Amino acid sequence: MSHPLVAMLAFTAGIAQFDVKLGDGAVNLKKALGAVEKLAGRGADIIVLPEMWPCGFDNRNLAAHAKATPHNLDIMARAASKFNVLIVGSMPEKGGRGIYNTAFVVDPQAGVIGKYRKVHLFSASSEPSFFEAGNRAVTVVTRYGRMGLMICFDLRFPELARALTLAGAQFIVVCAQWPVARVAHWDILTTARAVENQVFVVAANRCGKDPNLSFAGDSRILSPWGEKLAQTGQREASITARLDPAVLSRIRKELPCLTRRVPKAYEV
């Protein structure tokens, strides 16, 4: 599907990395709002929260958590307006067929301007038993340019990131709960998605522990060259980095991979 070209403006991306307390909406909301205020104070224009930030994968109680999502979105919209920031984060969403793991994009003036329902559900942790899968890639036109959206396991599917890029995404936002056991893959895949598509990647992971898993943290903001513009460790932290459209243009001009594609040759 073709999309109109959108000019990208320079902006500061921020990531809020925190330990998502399983099932504790009040604690997680307080952490998220505190991080938004802190990052706004550091000049962030777009702030990204981890996957399922209000409740974690408290799967047995998803219906109750999904019921709270409209209220949480209202609170985030007020925070976005108060601090003049755009906020992205994944939350449980009640849909016609069930509950989706949905990344919402909240604009400071217009409220929710886009959402993406996670397409690739992680079967190893029984996500398909509790969630419905989304069925389409999503880009969102923001005041800073066209954003592509991905959630955690989606990183293992390069087709999705390429579809977002071909649809005009200049930066891809990833919300995740990626475990320590596969942190090497997190490093490889976030970097690969940036380099192969020549886009900025803003990847927010959680840290801390659930009853059965430890999470890697290691959130990062990557340039289209794969450089780490900012990176966290394994503890709760906030980071920012400047995303410059001139860098994107220069890299795509110096190494014009996207314009050298031969789609017919890829047909088998």
| Catalytic residue IDs | 51, 118, 152
The closest of 236, 152, 234, 139 to 193, measured between CA atoms, is 152
Q: How far is it, in rounded angstroms, from Cα 181 to Cα 215?
A: 8
Apex CA 156: angle with CA 86 and CA 236, to 5°?
Answer: 50
Give the tokens for residue 235: 């503890």
Q: Contact, 105 vs 135, CB < 8 A?
A: no
DSSP class of 133: P
Q: How far is CA 17 from CA 61, 179, 215, in A?
A: 23, 14, 11
Using CA atoms, how far residue 88 sits from 67, 131, 239, 265, in Å, is 19, 20, 15, 37
Distances (CA, A) of 206 to 67, 73, 94, 100, 156: 23, 20, 23, 19, 18
